[in-house]
Every structure is written in C-alpha cells, then in structure tokens.
Structure 1
Amino acid sequence: MLQLDKQIHKWLIAIVIAGVFVLAAGSAVYSLARPVNASAGDAIMVVVKPGMATQAIGELLHDKGLIKNVLIFRVMAKMEGMEGSLQAGEYSFSKAMTVREIIGKLVRGETAYRQFTIPEGFTIDQIAALLEKNKLASAAKYKAVAAGYAPYDYIRPAANVKYQAEGFVFPDTYRVAAGTSEAQLVKMMMSQFDSQFTPTMRERAAELGLSVREVVILASLVEKEAQLAAERPVIAGVFLRRLKLGMPLQSCATIQYILGYPKPELTVQDTEIPSPYNTYQNMGLPPGPIASPGLASIKAVLYPADTEYLYFFANKDGSHVFSRTYEEHLAAINRDDS
C-alpha cells in the first residue's frame, strides 16, 4: 500500500511538473505572439511575393521587426489552418499588431494598395458596380458622389443629367490605398481626365469650335458606336457633319443609354422614347456624355476623318457600312437583311 502511495505521489509530481511546463510554454507562446510594440502606430510596408513560403514570409516579417519569432508565426498559421492561404501583395502592418492579426490580414488579402481597371466606354453605373464587386467602394455612395460632383468649369452642372461626372471619369488602371473613400475615388478619376485632356487638345477643340464638354459628349458616342479603331475618326466625322448640316445625330448608343442596357437591336418604339438623350427625337448633342471615352475616341473627335458620309449601320462583326445618302443607307440595310 505504501509503495502504491509513493507511485501515485511520483505521478502527481510528474503531472504538476508537466503542467508547469505547459503553462510556461503557453505563457511564452502568448508573449511571443503579442505585439512587438503595442504603442507603435507607424505603418511598415511589406511586399509578399507570389509563391513565398510561410517560413520566408515569417523571416520577412521578423526582419521588419513586426514579429518576435518566426517559428511562432509558422505554428500559429498552421494551427489555424491558414499556412497555405497567405496571399501575395503589398501590405501595411504595424508593430502594434498581434501575430494573429497579421496572419488574418495576409489570409484576407487586405493589401495596402488595390489595383483596378476602368474599361473604356463604361458608364458611372458600370464603374460603381465594378468597384463594389471588387470591394473597393459602395456602389450607392459612389453614384451619389458622381451625381453632383463637377469640380471643373468645363463640366458645369447641367440639367437633365443623372451624373455630372459621367464621361469625365477617365478609363484607366488605378492603384489606391485601402480605405480610399468614394469621394476620393471620383476626384482621382476626374483629375486623371483633366490631366489627360492636354492643353494641345483644348486648343484643338477651340479650333473646331467645340467646348471640352462637347468633345467629350461626341467622344462618348464614338466610344459606344465604334468597335474598330480605324472607324473611330470616320464615325466622328459623320456626327460632326450631321451637326453642321442641322441633322439629328440618330445615335443608337444614346437610346441604349436611356434604356440602361445594350440592346442588340432597337425597335422604332425605342427611338420614340421621350428623353433629352434621344438623338432621334432631339436635334444637337445630348445633355451629357453617355460613357467614359478613352483617348482614342477623344482624338477621333479632335481629328475626324474628312468624309462625305452621313449614315452608317453596324455589321454583326462590329464593322460598319457607311453611306452618303439615305437611299444608299436603306439599300445597304436591305442587302444586309437579305
């Protein structure tokens, strides 16, 4: 009986010692996983390259003074099942972050800068949807800003325009910091337009008797109508000639803008929709651009083809058939239908 008591006593001592070691180890891990400096708020940029292993990422973070121990970083990433989920990118970390917080940011891919591209010909509605899809902005907030933002004289608030920023949000690739507001996004994109529309372009517009706004409106029509680069100056020439002769522009793209979606074939009823943007029913330019034109379409308006064409319609391959008279235009359409 005494021998058994001694054995139990030894086991109890062993268990206590093991418990102490576990507690000590836990305390050490807890300490090593805590922030390097809880009061440090300065951002430290870290670039995680594609294909980097967890060990290499841990060493990079340790070299930057963001974590205390590389092994603890690896163990915690593995324990939470995230070792293979750390995403590449440029991150902004702080020494006040815990190891768990750093791992979480790497797993979620919360990079310091996000890159996105606005395609040529996108409308404000499409841009807002793209930004929301990529978790860069609220579509509703972006559109609210775009509705009333007109920082440049050549934009000026216009009546019957849904978005004052429409057409002046330049299609390009942007790189923004995390947390950029919707107002900052709109301002940045419109500032890009202002820098891309050079003094030389403004002088050329004046030579043609066009304001910057009128150039952008026409360029937005060209952007939506033309699919082939070679046809942009020709389509621009047709529109300018029709304006000069006092003819309605009759651009299908303006009807699609009214509808809110690209309808492949318009009906007669579609062209009769009452709207200031209906260039079948109204003379001159619509009240505002119908999309964001790229530089190619803007330059097509500034340097249009010298053409005698007054009509065109699209083939199924995206090219256009151009005609000088309405009779030629009807004949070409009939040939296409037969």
Structure 2
Amino acid sequence: MWRSIASNALTLLIVVVFLLGGLILWGKGEYVAEGPLSEAICVEVERGTNMRKVSRQLEAAGAVSNATLFRMGADYTDKSQLLKAGSFLVPAAASMEEIADIVTRGGASTCGTEVVYRIGVTSAEIQVREMDPATNRFVEVVKFDPAADEEPEVFNLVRTQSDTRYRIAMAEGVTSWQVVDVLKKIDLLQGEVEVPTEGTLAPNSYEISEGDTRASVIERMQADQAELIANAWDTRNPDVPLSTPLELLILASIIEKETGVAEERGQVASVFVNRLNRGMRLQTDPTVIYGITKGEGTLGRGLRRSELQRETPWNTYVIDGLPVTPIANPGRASLEAAANPDETDFVFFVADGTGGHAFAATLAEHNRNVAKWREIEAERAE
C-alpha cells in the first residue's frame, strides 16, 4: 500500500514539475513575444508609482495581454524597482520585455508634451507640442510671442504636469545678447548670467529642467561651439586666408547673416575669401548693422547712407579685412563653409528675389544683377 502511495505521489510530483516547467517556458515565451498593440501609444509613469499599478495601466491600454505576467517578468529580470517617472513611447507590437526596458531605462521622456523656447533671429516665441504616437512626431498645440501675447491656458496647464519636457531651440545667426535675453525670461532657470562673447554659442536644441542655472546652459552652448570651431579649423583648406580660429569664426558669422539658403553658403564664403585675397573690402550690410545694434535686437529698418559711411570696428564698407568680432553665432554649416568655401571667381552678389542671391565675377555682370533686383523691388512696391 505504502509503495503504491509513494509511487503515485512521485508520479504526481513529476507531473507537477513537468507542468510547472511548461508553464515557466510558456510564460517566458509570452514575455518576449510580439505584443498586442496595433499602433504606438504614450505611457505615463507617475512619480512614486509602482510596477503593479503600471502593469494594470498597460493592460488597460492594450499594451500587454496579462498584467500579472508582465509584473512577474519584471520581477524575474530585477526591473520592478527601477521604474522611471516620465512619458514614454511604446511602439506597436512591443513585447513585455521591451516595454519593461522602456519604462525602467531612464533618460529623457520620449513621449507626451514639451515646451520649446525658440530663439529666432528676429523674434522669440514659446511653442507647446504634443507627441503623436502614430507618427512618432511632435504636433504643435499652440505657440505665442511672450512679449506680445497673453499666456494661453494650455501653456499654464502643461506647466503643472510633472512629465512635461522643456527645450531651448536656438536658431543659427542669433546674437549672444538675444540668447541671454530669452534665458533671463525663462522662470524654470536660476541665477544670473553675463552676455558671453559673440559667436561662442552653438545654435542647437538644449534640454532644460527646472532648477538648472542659466550659466550651466550657456556653458553647454559654449562647449558645443568650441568643438564645432575646432573641427572646422582642423579640416580647413590651407589656402583660405584666415590666420586663427577667431578669424574663421568671424567669417562664418558673416556668412550666416548673409544667407538663409543652405546651398549658397559655400558660394557666399567664396565671395568673401576672394575679396580678402584681392585686398577688396568685404562691404557687407550685416556688419554695419552690428556696429549700430551691437547685437541687441534687430535694426528694424533699412540702413541710412550716413550709417554706411560711419566708421565702426564692424563697418566693412570703411575698414579693411574682417571686423573685430563675430556678428552672430554661426552654425556648423557656416563654419564649414568658411573653412572650405567653394572655388569660384565671384566677388559680388545681390538678392535675386527668390530668397537667394545672384553671384557675379565682374562689376558689369553685378550691375545687371542689381538692375534686375531693383525692378523686382519696384514691382513689389506697387
């Protein structure tokens, strides 16, 4: 009898072990298998939450087929205690394993809402954007000019949400004064900061968080620009008539202010390099404007003849060679154009009415281009 009981018990134990092993294998397979999501979604992980709540949230959203299995897999892989607060993009068909990695990996949020402080050449604006999971692109919700418009209700609302991200987007060609002017008005940031040397800030997008100092943001911009300048200087054409990285930076800033057409930068650079090589004055309006404004905002009007004739350290109609400092913060493309300009015979250029310029190697050709531009101006004035 006892032998029979023992034999049955052993058989039962073997069956149980076999079933348990099969269950574990099935669970592992389900954990790494393609998930049920038919399209991407955003998942918000609240600060202070736990894996149990998140697993239920994922199940309700249709991201995982079984909250308990997801939680057990996260426990097994030691990720249950690694949750990170934020909003995260979960792609279509993501497995439980992939989702667990997404919500515990850390780093900046990849989904949800962001506030972008845009520093433009002529104005600054604030933009609120929302991630569209289906396209993995941010969609504009609202934008406004903080100097002229009232703060929209949606802006104040997203400011209260813990997962809202913040960025500063600095355009190519803005001045250091313009950057600092905007930084002073961002109440997320702390501390005082002086206007840094012109040209030393890299136009780029910078993530910021509440409590960051303005000085630390400037330091990041300066570090990025120093690297760009060094790379451009190290790879420059040795025949370009520039003696120092500072001269490269000055020329790049002029190129940046003279054209917004990316394809033209090399040609514009060639005009100034050809003029420098021939001992011709650069005669470029943006340098005259900088001598008037010192980079503190825009001129807002055309130049007067008296201003073109007035000597300042930046007026390239009056002085020889390059001005004494950069006139803006150039981006990578303008730095590279200054270091390696196109090889042309051009020494003149004028607007062509399309947003670009007409280039010329002779004065006669240039005068014809100028006449065409005057006709375009006259037509537009009618």
Partner of 2:305, secondary structure, is: coil
Change (3 A) 1:107 1:197: closer
Contact 2:254 2:287 in 1 (8 A): yes
What residue number does 1:180 align with? 212
TM-score relative to the length of structure 1: 0.59
- CA shift digits 1:54-113 (9 cap, x unpaired): xx74xx53429xxxxxxxxxxxxxxxxxxxxxx97979xxxxxxxxxxxx9986357696
What aligned pairs does 1:255-274 form with structure 2 within 5 A after superposition? 255-260=288-293, 261-263=298-300, 265-274=302-311
Question: Who is 1:278 aligned against?
Answer: 315
Decide whether aligned partners of structure 1 residues 280 and 137 sit closer, same or farther in structure 2, where only a CA change above 3 A counts. Answer: farther
Which runs of 4 or more aligned residues in structure 1 lie more than 6 Å from their structure 2 counterparts after TM superposition? 87-91, 110-113
The residue number in structure 2 matching 1:331 is 368
> Counterparts of 1:67-78 in structure 2 under 5 Å?
none
From 290, 297, 309, the counterpart of 2:346? 309
Q: For each residue in 1:258-311, what CA deviation from the matched residue of structure 2 results, as whole angstroms up to 9, or x when unmatched?
A: 333154643322212331011111111011111111111111111111111111
Which amino acid in structure 2 is aligned with residue 125 of structure 1?
A: W
Within a 5 Å distance, the mapping from 1:195-274 to structure 2 comes to: 195-199=227-231, 201-204=233-236, 208-210=240-242, 211-260=244-293, 261-263=298-300, 265-274=302-311
Which structure 2 segments of 5+ residues have no match?
Answer: 1-40, 52-85, 89-107, 110-155, 376-382
Higher helix share: 1
CA distance in 1, matches of 2:366, 2:262: 22
Q: For 2:164 and 2:213, locate their aligned partners in 1 and report how far apart those are by CA, in whole Å.
A: 14
Q: 2:357 aligns with which of 309, 312, 320?
A: 320
**What amino acid does structure 2 have at the position aligned with 1:63?**
N
8 Å CA contact 1:309, 1:323 repeated in 2: yes
Moved more, 231-240 or 327-336: 327-336
**Cα distance change on mapping 1:331 and 1:107 into 2, 3 Å:** closer
Contact 1:168 1:190 in 2 (8 A): yes
Q: Distance in 2 between matches of 1:107 and 1:335?
A: 51
Aligned amino acid, residue 236 of structure 1: A
**One-letter amino acid matched to 1:333:** V
Tell me, in whole angstroms, the C-alpha distance in 2 between the residues paired with 1:141 and 1:228: 36
Match of 1:189 among 188, 198, 221: 221
CA change 1:266–1:316 in 2 (3 A) is farther
Q: Distance in 2 between matches of 1:112 and 1:336?
A: 48
Matched residues in 2 for 1:307 and 1:145: separation? 37
Give the paired residue count. 232
Q: Distance in 2 between matches of 1:247 and 1:137?
A: 46
Answer yes or no: is 1:292 the counterpart of 2:344: no
Mapping of residues 74-85 of structure 1, within 5 Å: none
Deviation track 1:137-168 (CA, whole Å, cap 9, x = no partner) reads 57x943x251xxxxxxxxxxxxxxxxxx2111
Q: Using the TM superposition, give the Cα deviation of residue 220 of structure 1 relative to its aligned residue in structure 2, in angstroms.
A: 0.6
Contact 1:168 1:193 in 2 (8 A): yes
Question: What RMSD over aligned residues (CA atoms) do the two structures have, in Å?
Answer: 3.3
Please report the TM-score for the alignment, with normalisation by the length of structure 2: 0.53
8 Å CA contact retained: 2:170, 2:205: yes
Answer yes or no: is the 8 Å Cα contact 1:169–1:292 preserved in 2.
yes
Q: Larger relative CO (CA 8 A, sep 6+): 1 or 2?
A: 1
- 1:199 and 1:336 map into 2 onto residues whose CA distance is 37
Q: Is the 8 Å Cα contact of residues 145 and 182 (structure 1) preserved in structure 2?
A: no
2:283 counterpart SS class: coil
Distance 1:232 1:264 in 2: 25
**Deviation per residue, 1:175-225 (Å, 9 max, x gap):** 234322232222211111122334464242655352211111111111110
Distance in 2 of aligned mates of 1:336 and 1:118: 31
Cα distance, 1:314–1:193 mapped onto 2, change above 3 Å: same
- Letter aligned with residue 61 of structure 1: G
Whole-Å separation in 1 of the counterparts to 2:346 and 2:224? 34
The structure with more strand, counted as a fraction of residues: 2
Unaligned segments of structure 1, at least 5 residues: 1-48, 65-86, 92-103, 147-164
C-alpha distance in 2, partners of 1:310/1:106? 52
CA distance in 1, matches of 2:353, 2:43: 44
SS in 2 for 1:114: strand
